[in-house]
Amino acid sequence: MSESQDDGYGWTSPRVCRARIRVRYSETDQMGVVYHANYLVWFEVGRVEYMRMHGLNYKQLELEGGCMIAVVEATMKFRAPARYDDEVVVESKLLVARGSVIRFGYRILREEDGVLLCEGETVHVVVGRDMKRRRLPERYQQMLAEHVESLDAADEVTVDGD
């Protein structure tokens, strides 16, 4: 599927951030395909670019808000391999921003042919410098709430104490 085709899940929305990455040789394994852990790194690239695209700055959040966003869950489904020198597109979108919980969705596609390589999600909990859970500062909560792609019962995340 190409980037421009609507898949019915909102991936063509203007709220989706697209970041391009060229696969480096060091990211491949003995089989010549991208080592699976690198997809998590690419998810982070997409997430940071998503935040930046919407006027949210991780560094500023840490400095001004005194909080960080810790990954507590990550899921990935691999659909096709990426190989050395492929250009891939990391699509990222915000799925949930509620209290101290933030969930992002991702798709990684090969730029050349639009083939879906990997899709997944990460769930984050906002923590203070003491690593204890806390709410996202109100200013950031409001900014994220404006960009939530979907929030329904299926997207709800329950974390102890939320």
* DSSP one-letter code for 35: -
Pairing outcome for strands 67-78 and 116-128: antiparallel
The residues facing 69 across adjacent strands are 126
Pairing outcome for strands 116-128 and 87-98: unpaired
29 a catalytic residue: yes
Catalytic residue among 7, 29, 85, 162: 29
Burial of 26 by CB count in 10 Å (0-12 exposed, 13-18 middle, 19+ buried)? Answer: exposed
Helix axes 58-65, 138-145, angle to 10 degrees: 150
Contact, 155 vs 95, CB < 8 A?
Answer: yes
Residue with tokens 């959040």: 61
Catalytic residues: 29
